[in-house]
Amino acid sequence: MNLTEKLAQLKRLFTEMDRALVAYSGGIDSTLVAKIAYDALRENALAVTAESPSLLPEDLEDARIQAAEIGIAHEIVQTHEMDNPNYSSNPVNRCYFCKSELHDTLRPLALERGYPYVVDGVNADDLSDYRPGIQAAQERGARSPLAEVGVSKLEVRELAKLLELPWWDKPAQPCLSSRFPYGEAITVAKLQRVGRAERYLRQMGLKNLRVRSAGETARIELAPTEIKPFILTTDLPSLVAAFQAYGFLYVTLDLEGYRSGKLNQVLQLGAKAGALA
């Protein structure tokens, strides 16, 4: 199917649902789903955002603004994944427990409000990555319209642009817990310092970035093309002082640059080592 056909198929899918609750993070994937759901269902579509320490306050505000511009009804619920040691201890399947908490919150809400379907923003490319959260969502009956229709991440942005969403090129912004290597315990204080550090860099005009946290060290990942200009033009002593004020002891720069899902490479290396053993 071409892009126009996929969009038509998505609209038909929502029309057949009749009423749907969108698990809406404010990222471009779930924003596109919210837009199409609203266009197809109007008042029979509801977007719900989960507020927790792993979501930056700025991202929550973005979600509010975007939902208002789309026109879809929007609500915020509290989730408590940090109370679950299976999540906060940060095992390799951490996302399973995060999405379990999310959908254990959304599903009863949907049924109470008369929405037979909970849908999320998982796209076709997500299915080929290590995403244990997808399993948790599926176990709880959630549907993923983008994945069902075969919409890739690139096509998500193309569709968002086609629908004139101003945020079509918004950088991916997964939950802050993804900044920690597996096995390092996650705390609210650690999430906050990572969030503040990334906000500092965004205020410098940088977009595609991560601040990875490893113990007391912040490792900055930037787009490879931005590394040299960053080194040459940044007031590095001021940046280090700011990061230390947030709670880090050391500040480093990843010379490979930003790559989505980089922390999952430890899983790939482990699998290769096992195959060679």
Alpha-carbon distances, residue 260 vs 78, 172, 178, 240 (angstroms)? 27, 9, 10, 24
Residue 211: which of 234, 186, 177 has the closest Cα?
177
What is the C-alpha R_g of the chain?
19
Question: Does residue 181 have a pLDDT over 90?
Answer: yes
271 lies in some domain: no
- Indicate whether 123 belongs to any domain: yes
How much is the average pLDDT of 188-216? 94
Same domain, 125 and 214: no
CATH classification at residue 118? 3.40.50.620
Residue 249 lies in a domain: yes
User: Looking at 162, 193, 217, which one is the last position of a domain?
Assistant: 162
Amino acid at 45: A
In 3-state terms, what secondary structure has residue 23?
strand
Residues near 110 by beta carbon (within 8 Å), at least 6 away in sequence: 21, 116, 117, 118
Instruction: Give the 3-state secondary structure of residue 15.
Output: helix
272 — pLDDT class (breaks 50, 70, 90): very low
Which range (34-43, 127-136, 246-255) has the least confidence?
A: 127-136
Write phi, then psi, for 223 (nearest 5 degrees): -55, 135
Same domain for 55 and 107, yes or no, is yes
Domain limit, last residue, from 131, 162, 193: 162
- Is the domain of 48 the same as that of 153? yes
pLDDT tens digits, 128-154: 888 899 999 999 999 999 999 999 999
Helix, strand, or coil here: 219?
A: strand
Q: How many other C-beta atoms lie within 10 A of the C-beta of residue 228?
A: 10
Query: Do both 183 and 154 map to the same domain?
Result: no
Same domain? 130 vs 18: yes
In terms of domains, do 24 and 140 share one?
A: yes
Clarify whether residues 37 and 122 are in a common domain.
Answer: yes
**Whether the predicted pLDDT of 240 surpasses 70:** yes
Provide the angle, in degrees to the nearest 10, between the axes of the packed helices 188-202 and 236-246.
160
Distance CA 127, CA 147 (A): 8
Q: Is the pLDDT of residue 157 over 50?
A: yes
Domain presence at residue 98:
yes
φ/ψ region of 268 (left if φ > 0, alpha if ψ in -120 to 50, else beta) reads alpha
Instruction: Examine the pLDDT at 270 and tell me if it is beyond 70.
Output: no
- Under DSSP, is residue 243 helix (H, G, I), strand (E, B) or coil? helix
Domain co-membership, 119 together with 209: no
Is the confidence at residue 276, as pLDDT, over 70?
A: no
Residue 268's contacts (CB-CB under 8 Å, 6 or more residues apart) are: none
What is the mean pLDDT of the segment spanning 5-28? 97
Query: Is residue 273 predicted with pLDDT exceeding 50?
Result: no
Q: Verify that 62 and 196 share a domain, yes or no.
A: no
Per-residue pLDDT, averaged over 86-90, amounts to 95
> Of 162, 189, 219, which residue is a domain's last?
162
Q: Does residue 13 sit within a domain?
A: yes
Residue 271 scores a pLDDT above 90: no
Alpha carbons 26 and 76: distance in angstroms, whole number: 12
Residue 274 has pLDDT above 60, yes or no: no
Do both 29 and 88 map to the same domain? Answer: yes
251 contacts 220 by C-beta, under 8 angstroms: yes
Assess whether 92 and 199 both reside in one domain: no
pLDDT of residue 71: 98
Give 277's contacts (C-beta < 8 A, 6+ positions apart).
none
Domain with 143 in it? 3-162
Residue 239 lies in a domain: yes
Catalytic residues: 175
| Mean pLDDT computed over 246-275 | 73
Would you say residue 180 has pLDDT above 70? Answer: yes
In a domain, 150, yes or no: yes
- The answer to whether residue 275 sits within a structural domain is no
> Could you tell me what percent of the chain has a pLDDT over 70?
94
Looking at the structure of the chain, the number of domains it has is 2
Give the mean pLDDT of 244-251. 98
pLDDT digit string, tens, across residues 40-79: 999 999 999 999 998 888 889 999 999 999 999 999 999 9
Question: Same structural domain for residues 20 and 143?
Answer: yes
